[in-house]
Structure 1
């Protein structure tokens, strides 16, 4: 991930409702949630939530898919991994062994569901 893309992701996550929506979608997993359910869960008006979801989508942090008459959103795990990789890219002064405990903690073990 380049710096410009990372800055867009940070800007998208720097608002309270968007951060809550993103974390909710991470918990929801690959099935995601319909936009209306996200708004209801977070106690936000649907048109306001639509704007927040659009910003997260433009930042590459979530995906959308039409589901009948509604749109279902899910976390974009590739975008999330890219942001985490950007943050850890120069971690520990270029000594990856020092960062290994942190990396192991945030990455699923092989064969475990992600």
Structure 2
């Protein structure tokens, strides 16, 4: 599941989580994304649209219909944010695991699923 995602899909999901966690529009989000990914013009335009009305973490968690979905979503987030380990990424992951209502065991499963254990 995780390994089937393209870089653009990972970027899209990571951007949604970042924006939802911060709860605000960030003028430098697009620049940060472009540093880590080579974007097609279509993806760039989609991100610009998303910046106008950022999602929230409750919306993202509502996309997960089962416990497995929640663990999978968190595993994707772990994989994305593991490339930029810093306090902000850690805070975003903490927020996301809280909203998804994950147990310590669920988080451990997500680490394994993401290939980070």
TM tier, smaller: 0.3 to 0.5
Structure scoring higher RCO (CA < 8 A, sep ≥ 6) equals 2
Report the TM-score when normalising by structure 1: 0.36
Report the TM-score when normalising by structure 2: 0.35
Identify the structure with the greater helix proportion.
2
